Structure 1
C-alpha cells in the first residue's frame, strides 16, 4: 500500500498531467485566437465579455465553490450525511445561479459600459457577453461535482474539466471563425462549460448522486459562503482593474495583458497542484483540532509551491521573448504585439510568488472556521494598492504599469495572510524548517 506522501504525490502528478494537458490545449486556443484575429478592437471586445467566464470560473470551479464545499464533503461521514448535504446545497445553488446568469445577460449593456467605458466595439462586446452568460449554471454544476469528488479522493475527472472546456473552444474557433468572428469563441465558452459537466457526470453519479428530493426551502448558508465569495471576487478584481484602465489605452492593450497573464499563470497552476490534493486532509485535520498537522501540511505545500514558482519565474524572465515568439508570434499576431506582450510578461512574473502564497494559504482560513473575513480584508488591501498604483503608473508605463501594480498588490496580500495565520496559531513558517530537514510524512 502506498504511504500517504506517495499517494499525495501520485494524485498531484495525475492532476498536474491532466490539468497540464488542458492548459496546453488552452494555449492552442490562445494561439488560434492570436493567429486568427491578432490583437485589435474585436479581440478587446471579446476579452471584455471573457470577464464572465473569467469571473465565474474562480467562483464556481476552482475558487469559492471548492473552498466552501470540500471541507463540508470531507467531514461528511457515510452516504446518509452526503445525501443530506447534496439535498441541502445543490438545488439552492442551481436556482440562485440560474437567476444570476439571466440577470448578467439582461444587464450586459450597462456592465460592459462600466467595465470598459472607452471600448470601440461595445455592441460586439455586449453580444459576446450574453453568449458567455450561458456558462454560469454549467460552471456551477462542474465546480460542485469537482469539489465533491476531490473530497472523496477522486482527482482524475475534476482534472479533465479544463481539457473538455478547451476542446469545445478550439473546435468552435476552428469551425466557425470565418462565419462568426470572435463570437465563435463566445459560443465555445458556452459549449465548453456543458462539456465540463458531462466529463464528470459518470464519476459524480457513482460516488455522490443527485438529490433524492427537494428541500422545503431553498436556502444557501450565506454566513459561511459570503466571505469566500467576497474574497474570490476581490481576487478576480485585479483583472477588472486592468480591463478598466487598459480600455483607454491603444487598441490591443487588453489583449497584451491577457496573453501575458495566461503564460505567467502556468507556473502558479502547477505549483498549486499539491495543495489541491491535500486540501481535503487539511480540512479534516482542522475539523479534528489537529493544528500541528495542519501547519505541517501548509508548510509542505508552501515549500513545494515556492520551489516551482521561483524556478519557473526565473525561466520566464530569462526567456520571455523566446517564449512569446514561439507561442504567439504567427498570423495576425505581429512583432509589435509580441514585444508588448513579452514586456508585460516579465513584469507579471514579479508577482507570481505572492499569487502562489495566497492560493495556498486561503484554504486554511476557510476550513479553520476562524477569521473567515480576514482573507477578504487582506485582498481588499492589496486590490486598493493595485488600483491606486496602476492609475499612477499607466500614464508613463501604459500596460506595463498595470502589471507592476498587480505584482505589488498581490505581494502585500500574501504578507498580510501569512501574518493572519500566525495570529490564528496556524503559521506554516514554524513548521517549514523541520519539515524541510526531516522530510516528514504528513
Structure 2
C-alpha cells in the first residue's frame, strides 16, 4: 500500500511541479488581465465536468463495482461493465459538448455574466477559447474511466504518469504561441488542453491493452449494471455538485469584480491545491481499490488494518 502511495504521490508531485511551470508561463505571457480571465473560464468549464463525471462521482462508483465484479466473476464480466460505462459516458458527454458548442455565448453569459459589461473583450475571447477546450471534457472523462480500470488492478504508475502529458503539452503549446507572437498564446494554449486530452486517453487505452484489460466497444445501453452504477454515482454527484456550484458562484462573482480578479484567484488556488493533490488525491486513489477487494472478500480484519 505504501509503495503504491509513493508511486502515485511521486508522479503527482512531478505533475504539480510541471503545472507550476505551466502557470508561471501563463502568468508571464498573459499576466492577470482580460485574456487570462477569459482563458481561465475556458479551462474551468471542461474541468468542472471532469470533476463531476470523470475523477469524481464516476470513479468513486465505478472502481468498487469494477473491482468487485473482477474478483467475483472474473475479467470478462468486469471488462464488459467497463465497456458499457465507457460507451455511455462518451455518448452522453459528446451530446453535452455539441450542445455547449452551439449555445456557447449563452453558456458564457451564464457562468461569466460580468464579461459583457466591462467592455474589455473578455466575452468574445472566452467564447472562442471555450469552444476550443470543450472537447477536452469527453476525452479526459474517458481517460479517467480507463485510469480507474488500471488503478483497480494496481497499475497506478501508468494512470498517474498519463496526466503529466497535460502539463508537458500545455507548456509546449504556450511556448509555441509565444514564438508566433503574444496574441497567439491564449489560442495555442487552449488547443494544448484539447490535444493533451487526446494524448491522455490514447496513452491510457494503450496501457490498459498492454495490461490485458482492453476496453471492449459495445453499444450504449441502460443495462442492469449501468443502472446500478448510476444509482451509486448519485450521492457522489450530489456531493461533487455542491462543490462545483460553490466554485461556479465564486466564478460568477469574480467576473463582476475588476478585470484580473479571476486570474488572481486562480493562481492563489493553484498553490493551495498542491498538498491536496499530492497527499489527499494519492491516498484516495490507492486506498479505494484496496478497500474494495477486502470488502469483496468479506475480510473485515484486513480492511480495518489497511484503514488504520
Query: Into which bin does the TM-score normalised by the smaller protein fall?
Result: 0.7 to 0.9
Measure the CA separation in 2 of the matches of 1:37 and 1:197: 29
Contact residue 105 and residue 133 of structure 1 kept, 8 A: yes
* TM-score normalised by L of structure 1: 0.62
**Which structure 1 segments of 5+ residues have no match?**
1-7, 301-442
* TM-score normalised by L of structure 2: 0.87
Secondary structure of 1:182's counterpart equals helix
Contact residue 11 and residue 161 of structure 2 kept, 8 A: yes
- Mapping of 1:273-422 within 5 angstroms? 273-288=282-297, 294=303, 297-298=306-307, 300=308
**Which structure 2 segments of 5+ residues have no match?**
none
Measure the CA separation in 2 of the matches of 1:181 and 1:203: 32
Contact residue 177 and residue 186 of structure 2 kept, 8 A: no
1:204 paired residue among 205, 208, 221:
208
Measure the CA separation in 2 of the matches of 1:64 and 1:188: 26
Residue of structure 1 equivalent to 2:264 = 256
2:151 is equivalent to residue 171 of structure 1: no
2:43 is equivalent to residue 47 of structure 1: no
Contact residue 87 and residue 218 of structure 2 kept, 8 A: no
Contact residue 138 and residue 197 of structure 1 kept, 8 A: yes
Measure the CA separation in 2 of the matches of 1:39 and 1:87: 43
Q: Which has the higher contact order (CA 8 A, sep 6+)?
A: 2
- Mapping of 1:19-38 within 5 angstroms? 19-38=12-31
Residue of structure 1 equivalent to 2:124 = 123
- Mapping of 1:423-442 within 5 angstroms? none
1:334-359 per-residue CA deviation (whole Å, 9 max, x = no partner) reads xxxxxxxxxxxxxxxxxxxxxxxxxx
Measure the CA separation in 2 of the matches of 1:10 and 1:47: 35
1:119-147 per-residue CA deviation (whole Å, 9 max, x = no partner) reads 24101101111111110221122111100
Residue of structure 2 equivalent to 1:194 = 198
Measure the CA separation in 2 of the matches of 1:55 and 1:232: 10
Question: Which stretch shifts more, 168-177 or 50-59?
Answer: 50-59
- What CA RMSD, in Å, does the superposition of the two structures yield over aligned residues? 2.0
Q: How many equivalent residue pairs?
A: 291
Measure the CA separation in 2 of the matches of 1:233 and 1:210: 28
1:394-424 per-residue CA deviation (whole Å, 9 max, x = no partner) reads xxxxxxxxxxxxxxxxxxxxxxxxxxxxxxx
Measure the CA separation in 2 of the matches of 1:170 and 1:51: 18
Larger-gyration structure (1/2):
1
Secondary structure of 1:62's counterpart equals coil
Measure the CA separation in 2 of the matches of 1:162 and 1:212: 24
Contact residue 87 and residue 217 of structure 2 kept, 8 A: no
- Mapping of 1:14-163 within 5 angstroms? 14-77=7-70, 78-119=74-115, 120=120, 121-163=122-164
Contact residue 65 and residue 147 of structure 1 kept, 8 A: no
Residue of structure 2 equivalent to 1:393 = none
Measure the CA separation in 2 of the matches of 1:12 and 1:248: 41
Contact residue 67 and residue 78 of structure 2 kept, 8 A: no
1:287-333 per-residue CA deviation (whole Å, 9 max, x = no partner) reads 455566545544x4xxxxxxxxxxxxxxxxxxxxxxxxxxxxxxxxx
Residues 41, 155 of structure 1: CA spacing in aligned structure 2 closer, same or farther, 3 A cutoff? same
Measure the CA separation in 1 of the matches of 2:16 and 2:222: 36
1:41-93 per-residue CA deviation (whole Å, 9 max, x = no partner) reads 11111111122232133234421231121101211232221232123322112
Kindly state the Cα deviation for residue 195 of structure 1 after the two structures are TM-superposed.
1.1
